[in-house]
Structure 1
Amino acid sequence: MDTLLLSRIQFGANISFHILFPTITIALGWMLLFFKLRFTATGEKKWMHAYMFWVKIFALSFAMGVVSGITMSFQFGTNWPGFMETVGNVAGPLLAYEIMTAFFLEAVFLGIMLFGASRVKSWVHTLATFLVAFGTTMSTFWIIVLNSWMHTPQGYELIDGVVHATNWFEIIFNPSMPYRLVHMMLASGLTVAFLIAGISALRILWGDRGEDVKAALRVGIIAGAALIPLQILAGDFHGLNTLEHQPAKVAAMEGNWDTGPNTPLVLFAIPDEAARENTYEIAIPNLASLILTHKADGVVPGLNDFVTEDGEVLHPRVAPVFYSFRIMVGTGMAMLLLSWGGVYLLRRYGAGDMPKVSLYAFCAMSFSGWIATLAGWYTTEIGRQPWLVSGVLSTKDAVSDVPAGMVLSTLIGYLVVYGALILAYIGVITYLARKATKGEQLVTRAYPRSGEANIKALVPGE
């Protein structure tokens, strides 16, 4: 295992850990705003109870995301110096825009959002919640802009091997950016919807019949049921855009080796890159052509088109892209079935009396959004190989000359720490749910004149 492969694994491990937490905070900020607005509009304490429970998880997720993002950014210099040397004139400003428009908002107003409910007027606290949610979305926007530009670069020129910006509008609104942004926002919404539904179902199974828990469960299920068909539609549009601009990635996703019409949809196979064929293939005739071109006889690109005459492979490794894409789609289908079934059960039984088997199912799917997000991210990022910036900078040309042993040692350190932090994160969420179930809940007193909320923690028996 050389420095290139180890550096790729290390950066992949870092970004895999980091992306878990923004995926929660992006949509959870807006969900908290919804809870607060419902409390303001109705005066029902259940909404403020829900807000005060989930704002703790937001704060925890936010802290984990910030810390892991810092370690990831250092790797641009330690592992990938060629990246900033070549495209720093584009990447640097975009990362700076994220800090100026997103982190400043979050840093300034996060304290008010977390601790100001009883110290400022209600509308000020609501405004702070909105600005934090808006800040997380702006952070997503600029990161997706940079990542999308790396996939579909435009608005630049190369001078002595260095990228210089010529049109910032084209850089920001590059061909794949709108599709990736919508796909990511919906992925975050689904992650939060199933997390809220799963943790709320767990609390009900533990005996918590509070109105706030039932309201949160209802919101999570309905949000998941509403977002999953939108995500499927957005995924279709994203796939068509990828077919146009990154056909090698689509060929790997489909496990298709030869370009041609009437391409079957491969449900399962074991891709064999040495023989350049699939073994144990299970496929539906014509369906890949129909999905990708909307015609049964549409032409789908094959992987064999991306091999040069001297044998150089210009497509990504097939197996990781092929399998991760199917994990993403399979998780999405499970989300669709469970959320729509959950809506039916809500209508029939109500949030507090749903069958236990359905509650256990939502518990099991609490972190399903993480699985789908990681699988989709692997599909996207591995599918870009061998390019770091498509057509501009290859991955092998950007890696540092740090000894492989040094990269391996730090990689092991990262994996140990990240594994412990993930377990601790899930443990803290479970602890908060157990604590709330035992009655150590937050109580809201609404003052009719000012509309301010005075929040205090009650211990059992007080």
Structure 2
Amino acid sequence: MSFFADTVMLSRIQFAVTSIFHMFWPILTIGMSWYLVVMEVLWLKTKDTNFYHHARFWSKLYILNFGLGVASGVAIEFEFGANWAPFSLAVGDFLGSILGFEGTMAFMLEAAFLGIMIYGWNRVPPLMHLLATMLVAIGATLSSFWIIVANSWMQTPAGGEMVDGKFLVHSYLEAIFNPAALSSWVHMVLAILETALFVIGGISAWYILNKRYEEFFSKSFKLAIALAILVTPLQIIVGHFSGEEVYHNQPAKLAAIEALWDTVPAGESAPWNVLVAPNVQDSKNNWSLSVPGGLGMVLSMKPQLDEPVLGLNEWKPEDRPHAVSLIFYSFRMMVGISFFFLGLMGVSLVQWLRGKLTVENITAQTWLMRAWIFAAPLGYLAVESGWMVREVGRQPWIVYGKIRTADAVSQVPASNVLVSLIAYTSIYLMLLGCALYFGSRIVRQGPNLGLPIPNPDLLKSSKAESLT
């Protein structure tokens, strides 16, 4: 069958394109919302006006990302009905309610207090504004929870059974807190925070490197380092636990991640592949560069395996992932970036302790600033790579072990899907161009340090007058 006549493949690509583009915006939105909370808390606690101006400056980028996130997410909702109607009919009773929770419980909370966060600086008391910013951050984080719950259920379905082609829920709690839910959500939230911190640190480093507002942005740069010290190592630890969940619940995905074709029995050691050339047709690797005994160290912290690791040959070709190269290298891209972040954070901490990040010395740290600028977009690449592993590694199942992807796609002409794919891609490229243009304008303009500081006493008196 020609690629352009394959409705299933075109529908998968379309959903991948819309999801990948959409994910760019919520990553920074959620992560930066908590950064804004920290800035406001520091302002109210220290009375340092620099923190207030930081909150005002970074909120501009937040608003830009929020708007683009809303616009780019609309298409995904339509695709459930247009491209994946059989899937929606089969699991809509559960996933529909989960996505409904995301809209009413999370997105509406975020949107309701966003106006106060944006326009309320001189209209509500500072503590009320801080509360609004916190509720925006909580709403954004709750939104990620419900989205991850829906996707995790597709990875490890629980809490019900398939009856006559439809999923009937027996326990909403078991379905919501399915085996992959909590570890996946924590892993994602930490990835979001980490990405936002390195974006903020990278932008701050750009200002410092170009000797613009050096004293001002040295504060945000060092705060990004301080928070990264907490987030970066924790992200790697949680990522390991998330990998253990895949090991036990999705063994075919793990086999694809490791490009492992033959089963390794318990008690034996197996190499960990660093580079491979998978040959899917012959069910083997044409060549590999491996670390002896490394697989056991990765999975159980010792060369010998405590449990067997199933190879891809344990499944029929139609029941296992085919894009082994994509899964294998996407996983290593994600892990490699995580350890690069860890190393950069460690070097930055050493320089800080050596007194090299003071206002007088920080502009001389050219190589460090360039490293942070280089790191700024890498978090996006790591998150997208992780999702590539997560989604492509689940194939050929859209709901693991229960509904095949080929059976979940709408029976529409491939030409229709191709047209909509081209249209969506064009629109998303335009949105990306707008994001880069307006984002660069915000960065080039820099912070407005002349913004007046809100006067709490004046706000209280104005409120009292309005009530009388």
TM-score in terms of structure 2 length: 0.92
Does 1:331 pair with 2:340? no
Output aligned runs, 1:61-460, within 5 Å.
Answer: 61-260=65-264, 261-298=268-305, 299-307=308-316, 312-347=318-353, 348-350=355-357, 352=359, 353-354=361-362, 355-436=365-446, 440-445=448-453, 447=455, 449=457
Runs of 5+ unmatched residues, structure 1? 453-462
What is the CA–CA distance in structure 2 between the aligned matches of 1:225 and 1:451, rounded to whole Å?
38
Say which is worse superposed, 201-210 or 240-249, in terms of deviation: 201-210
Instruction: Please report how far the alpha carbon of residue 27 of structure 1 lies from its aligned counterpart in structure 2 after TM superposition.
Output: 1.7
Instruction: Please report how far the alpha carbon of residue 279 of structure 1 lies from its aligned counterpart in structure 2 after TM superposition.
Output: 2.6
**Match of 1:338, as an amino acid?**
L
**Match of 1:103, as an amino acid?**
F
88 and 139 in structure 1: CA distance in 2 versus 1, 3 angstrom threshold: same
**Match of 1:83, as an amino acid?**
F
What is the CA–CA distance in structure 1 between the aligned matches of 2:166 and 2:238, rounded to whole Å?
34
What is the CA–CA distance in structure 2 between the aligned matches of 1:447 and 1:212, rounded to whole Å?
22
2:318 is paired with a residue whose SS is coil
CA contact (8 A) 2:194 2:228 kept: yes
Counterpart in the other structure of 2:13: 9
Counterpart in the other structure of 1:52: 56
CA contact (8 A) 1:248 1:301 kept: yes
CA contact (8 A) 2:156 2:179 kept: yes
What is the CA–CA distance in structure 1 between the aligned matches of 2:287 and 2:12, rounded to whole Å?
30
Instruction: Please report how far the alpha carbon of residue 23 of structure 1 lies from its aligned counterpart in structure 2 after TM superposition.
Output: 1.1
1:156-211 deviations in Å (ceiling 9; x for gaps): 12221111111011011111111101100000011100010001111122222354
364 and 420 in structure 1: CA distance in 2 versus 1, 3 angstrom threshold: farther
Instruction: Please report how far the alpha carbon of residue 428 of structure 1 lies from its aligned counterpart in structure 2 after TM superposition.
Output: 2.0
Instruction: Please report how far the alpha carbon of residue 328 of structure 1 lies from its aligned counterpart in structure 2 after TM superposition.
Output: 0.5
1:312 is paired with a residue whose SS is helix
What is the CA–CA distance in structure 1 between the aligned matches of 2:97 and 2:86, rounded to whole Å?
17
236 and 451 in structure 1: CA distance in 2 versus 1, 3 angstrom threshold: farther
**Match of 1:312, as an amino acid?**
E
Runs of 5+ unmatched residues, structure 2? 461-468
1:445 is paired with a residue whose SS is coil
1:309-352 deviations in Å (ceiling 9; x for gaps): xx534334211111100111111111111121112222331154
What is the CA–CA distance in structure 2 between the aligned matches of 1:301 and 1:210, rounded to whole Å?
54
Say which is worse superposed, 166-175 or 423-432, in terms of deviation: 423-432
Say which is worse superposed, 290-299 or 395-404, in terms of deviation: 290-299
CA contact (8 A) 2:395 2:405 kept: yes
What is the CA–CA distance in structure 2 between the aligned matches of 1:448 and 1:392, rounded to whole Å?
58
What is the CA–CA distance in structure 1 between the aligned matches of 2:227 and 2:199, rounded to whole Å?
11
Instruction: Please report how far the alpha carbon of residue 449 of structure 1 lies from its aligned counterpart in structure 2 after TM superposition.
Output: 4.3
CA contact (8 A) 2:206 2:373 kept: yes
1:354-379 deviations in Å (ceiling 9; x for gaps): 31111111111111110000000000
**Match of 2:311, as an amino acid?**
G
CA contact (8 A) 2:40 2:51 kept: yes
What is the CA–CA distance in structure 2 between the aligned matches of 1:236 and 1:266, rounded to whole Å?
17
314 and 445 in structure 1: CA distance in 2 versus 1, 3 angstrom threshold: closer
What is the CA–CA distance in structure 2 between the aligned matches of 1:129 and 1:294, rounded to whole Å?
42
CA contact (8 A) 1:215 1:351 kept: no
CA contact (8 A) 2:33 2:136 kept: yes
2:434 is paired with a residue whose SS is helix
**Match of 1:327, as an amino acid?**
M
Instruction: Please report how far the alpha carbon of residue 153 of structure 1 lies from its aligned counterpart in structure 2 after TM superposition.
Output: 0.6
TM-score in terms of structure 1 length: 0.93
Aligned residues: 448
CA RMSD of aligned residues (A): 1.7
Instruction: Please report how far the alpha carbon of residue 109 of structure 1 lies from its aligned counterpart in structure 2 after TM superposition.
Output: 0.5
Instruction: Please report how far the alpha carbon of residue 419 of structure 1 lies from its aligned counterpart in structure 2 after TM superposition.
Output: 2.1
2:381 is paired with a residue whose SS is helix
1:226 is paired with a residue whose SS is helix
145 and 448 in structure 1: CA distance in 2 versus 1, 3 angstrom threshold: closer
CA contact (8 A) 2:122 2:459 kept: no
**Match of 1:166, as an amino acid?**
H
CA contact (8 A) 1:46 1:211 kept: no
2:167 is paired with a residue whose SS is strand
